[in-house]
Amino acid sequence: MKYNQIKDLYKTIFKSYDKPSLKEHINKILELDNFLPYSSTFFCVTNTQDLTFEFISKNFNACLGLDPIEMKTKGMRYFWSRIHPDDIEGWLTALNKLMEFTLGEISEDLRERANYTWNFRFKNADGVYVNIIQNTTPLAFDTDGKPIIGLAHYTILHPNINMEITASAKLLNDQNEYETIYFNNFSQKLLNEGISNRERDVIRLLLLDYSSKIISEKLNISPHTVDTHRRNILKKMKVSSTGELIGMLKRNQHFL
């Protein structure tokens, strides 16, 4: 796919007509960035309407060796040009499906509590395609309730990790715990087959070493239901113990 075609497809996904004020959001992000240590993560404020980056954190250069000023000046077209060509179609499909799900399944009053995750390979300054997991929280919406400004957090993983292109959507519940409401795999199927969204949330909390009682409180279900989910997960994943399950999934957390 040619990169000039990406703009048209991307604009179709995020087509909107409003220009919300970003001053308050960006000032808060600038304050936060002053206190963040250098690490393997960075974040940006993305504007999917203007196809620009309103802010790029200092860790961008530390993570990828690239010039943040160049990326901010050239915008998303420059960013797209560094995505692995084999990942572009799956990445665009994932974004389109997430937007369709948001507009069709999440009411406007809940969209500010949504959180989205997807992944792709990206070429760093050394010409190496590293894995990036992008986690985006909407900050502003157009008059139709479509998210157009987002806080995007990027985690860089080693290029030798073989990652499927997946996408998920989560909502904060009344206990401020994320619950998965959408998951899809745009490469080969792995955890998508047979694992429900509720089971996916149980797995994610098990990886944080929470007990069945705590998980039940966070997900508003009974401890008995949590234990039932745990038994079903072990059966579906064909493992004999929770410890074995956690050991396997810690190598594949991006599917959750």
Q: Give the tens place of pLDDT for each residue, 108-157.
A: 989 989 999 999 999 999 999 999 999 999 988 888 888 888 999 999 99
Are 203 and 115 members of one domain?
no
Domain boundary among 188, 211, 244: 188
Domain boundary among 188, 208, 236: 188
Say if residue 204 is in the same domain as residue 141.
no
Angle at CA of residue 20, ends 145 and 23, nearest 5°: 135
Cβ pair 202, 221 in contact under 8 A: no
Co-location of 245 and 136 in the same domain: no
Q: Which residue do the tokens 């792709």 mark?
A: 120
Q: Are 219 and 172 part of one and the same domain? A: no
Q: Are residue 32 and residue 142 in the same domain, yes or no?
A: yes
Same-domain status, 145 and 40 = yes
* Same structural domain, 119 and 225: no
- Do residues 149 and 247 both lie within one domain? no
Residue 121's CATH number = 3.30.450.20
Which CATH number goes with the domain that contains 221? 1.10.10.10
Query: How far is Cα 153 from Cα 147, in angstroms, rounded to an integer?
Result: 16
Q: Are residues 231 and 142 in the same domain?
A: no
Are 98 and 169 contacting, i.e. CB atoms less than 8 angstroms apart?
Answer: yes
User: Mind spelling out the 3-state secondary structure of 118-170?
Assistant: EEEEEECCCCCEEEEEEEEEEEEECCCCCEEEEEEEEEEECCCCCCCCEEEEE
Do 234 and 128 lie in a common domain? no
Which domain covers residue 245, as residue numbers? 190-256
- Do 162 and 223 sit in the same domain of this protein? no
Asked whether residue 136 falls in the same domain as residue 245, the answer is no
Please say which residue of 172, 188, 204 terminates a domain: 188
Report the percent of the chain where pLDDT is more than 90. Answer: 45
Cα distance between residue 100 and residue 44, in whole Å: 23
Task: List the chain residues with pLDDT less than 70.
Answer: 1-4, 17-26, 28-29, 32, 35-36, 187-193, 247-256
pLDDT at residue number 78:
94
- What are the residues whose beta carbons fall under 8 Å from the beta carbon of 199, sequence distance 6 or more? 229, 232, 233, 236
- How many domains, in total, are found in the chain? 2
Closest by CA to 133, choosing from 116, 113, 148, is 116
Q: Which pLDDT score, from 0 to 100, does residue 140 have?
A: 87
